[in-house]
């Protein structure tokens, strides 16, 4: 698992990649395999972004306390 600081550093890049993958999934000429591969990539990117956001939320909460 990536270190938490790496997660935060990579959040923006991962989010941009996720947006690109979502746009690619809208292509009408995708094969089923291509769509599944893109979907799998989107899930992994989403998990990475979600993990970074959760860490940031916990860190902000700790600072507020």
pLDDT value of position 5: 73
Query: Region 53-59: what's the mean pLDDT?
Result: 92
Phi and psi at residue 14, in whole multiples of 5°? -65, -40
Buried b (16+ CB within 10 A) or exposed e, 26-57: eeeeeeeeeeeebeebbeebeebbebbeeeee
Query: Region 17-41: what's the mean pLDDT?
Result: 97
The fraction of the chain above a pLDDT of 70, given in percent, is: 94
pLDDT value of position 32: 97
pLDDT value of position 6: 77
* Reported pTM: 0.83
């Amino acid at each position: 698992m990536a270190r938490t600081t790496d997660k935060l550093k990579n959040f923006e890049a991962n989010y941009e990649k996720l947006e690109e993958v979502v746009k690619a999934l809208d292509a009408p000429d995708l094969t089923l395999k291509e769509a599944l591969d893109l979907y799998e990539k989107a899930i992994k990117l989403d998990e990475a972004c979600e993990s970074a956001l959760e860490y940031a939320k916990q860190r902000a909460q700790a600072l507020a306390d």
